[in-house]
Chain A
Amino acid sequence: MKLLIILILALIGGQSLFAQEIEELSFEELNKRIRSDNETEVLVVNFWATWCKPCVKELPYFDSLQAHYPTKKVKVVLVSLDIEAEAAKKYRERKNIQSEVVYLDEVDHNAWIDRISSDWSGAIPATLFVDNSGQEQFHEGELSDEALFSQVNQILNLK
């Protein structure tokens, strides 16, 4: 019996060693997640790709956000625009990214870019901040860690 339990535990433990698949979302699905979340105080949605140098440079700042605000409801979603989901999956494993990573499974970018922000040219990185009242702020281009934290602080302090 004891052996069986150990075996089961080993199996369960072993499972987590296997890489988890990355969720692949349509824009509609992603949009629903971004825009119907009124629990989260600050939702930070970062659009990135493994091939985009400024994106991967700023990624650790985003990944440290949630841990930085343990008492606040801050949530980070890293939306990969890689050509294949596999690239994002491997990158997440290699860099041990803790934040939620999703893959946007869309080929017609023109159909959805404006729905994130009409100010967005389409270049990445780009980040959308949404607070729990649905207020949104959009930033195109790289963010320094100072700029990112001050933006989140600001949204939190506004309440």
Chain B
Amino acid sequence: MKTLVLTILFALSLSLGSFTPSSDGYEVGDYATNFDLKNVDGNMVSLSDYEDAEGFIVVFTCNECPYAKLYQDRVSELNEKYESKGFPVIAINPNDPERSPADRYENMQARAEEKDYTFPYLVDETQEITRAYGATNTPHVYILDKEGKDKFRVAYIGAIDNNYKDAEKADKHYVQEVVDALLNGQEVPLTKTKAIGCTIKWSNA
């Protein structure tokens, strides 16, 4: 009888185990890995290409997701505002193009051209960088504070602002507040937020 109870408890604990979410990826304060990923223009882009950068606004985003689309102009505006100040935007498409054909390389090129992206829009073919960072959905922002050559401290993880439908009505501009604080040498007000987005389409292979 006791064995039976134990077996049941064990089975229970196993099935409940699947309810524990994975906590892979970076936390704020961790050092993020550099990368070397292919841009829509065919060139490889690495964080170390930006010698004068103070940091980066890394945005995991994609072509297809409605939330990503609602935010794409805001991502462009972030680059316009902060690239010259030393915080360029780097967009990374994490999706497996097999599972999400809208995110194929040629479709990314088309989107970048149509939307006049002034920032790199990179492919994470192996999804290794996405996994290392721990991005879960699109759009998902990681703000990196450059502390030295190839030393990129994660200063913020989360959403762009607090109104996905209407940028005009957002009254908390999380990313801007963080970058402004970093540029002014102030403490970052909020280091982590959550945002609904589309799940990253991981390769089945």
Contact = CB atoms under 8 A, between A and B. Distances in A.
The binding surface of chain A is classed by DSSP as: mixed
A110 B21 contact: no
A121 B162 contact: no
Interface of B: 12, 15-16, 18-21, 65-66, 70, 136-137, 158-159, 162-166, 169, 172, 193-200
The binding surface of chain B is classed by DSSP as: loop
B195 A124 contact: no
From A81, A110, A125, A150, name the one whose CB has the most chain B CB atoms within 10 angstroms.
A110
A20 interface: no
Contact of B164 (A107, A123, A124, A154): A107
Given A107-B162, A109-B159, A110-B193, A83 B199 contact: no
Interface of A: 49, 51-52, 54, 81, 83, 107-111, 113-114, 119-125, 137-141, 147, 150-151, 154
26 contacts: A51-B198, A83-B66, A83-B165, A107-B163, A107-B164, A107-B165, A107-B166, A109-B164, A110-B159, A110-B162, A110-B193, A113-B196, A114-B194, A119-B21, A120-B194, A122-B159, A123-B198, A123-B200, A124-B196, A125-B199, A138-B19, A139-B19, A141-B199, A150-B15, A151-B15, A154-B15
B21 A121 contact: yes
A121 B136 contact: yes
Contact of B162 (A111, A140, A154): A111
B199 A137 contact: no
